[in-house]
Structure 1
């Protein structure tokens, strides 16, 4: 992936969300869970949406974030971000 495509891609936001979570658990035997990562991604998306609205760049925002929102809708039907995962989906030390 070229540098210019990466800068505009959802991958950038996904990796940055993971980079935010890893230091939070650095000295703990626990690892960040998928649920925590989803929640962090949603927080980033919300801030990016606010920024896009103020910069009148909402179409560009949704071009980037639409795959994420569609993924969330299909990943956990009827469950908003922050819903707890079953115990077998949680990472264990």
Structure 2
């Protein structure tokens, strides 16, 4: 009877450790999947307040560009292959290097 309690205790303890390990990425501020499900390819450059750039990683094979709109503060994923997005990012990166 005591051996069954020990086995169950070990299994419960290992399950606890395993669940904590899976959650550790979120605790570190890392999302284990892509942030963008859909991307915007229409020209909205004049409405953009700020941009976050996330290069491809082991968690997401895609480069992700997330823009925050000026008026609504809504976050929108931009299509990194859209020509206007490429030019917009180049222009912003040049202005950052000058400052």
TM-score (norm 1): 0.24
Question: Where is the helix percentage greater, Structure 1 or Structure 2?
Answer: 1
Higher strand share: 2
Considering Cα pairs closer than 8 Å and 6+ residues apart, tell me whether 1 or 2 has the greater RCO. Answer: 1
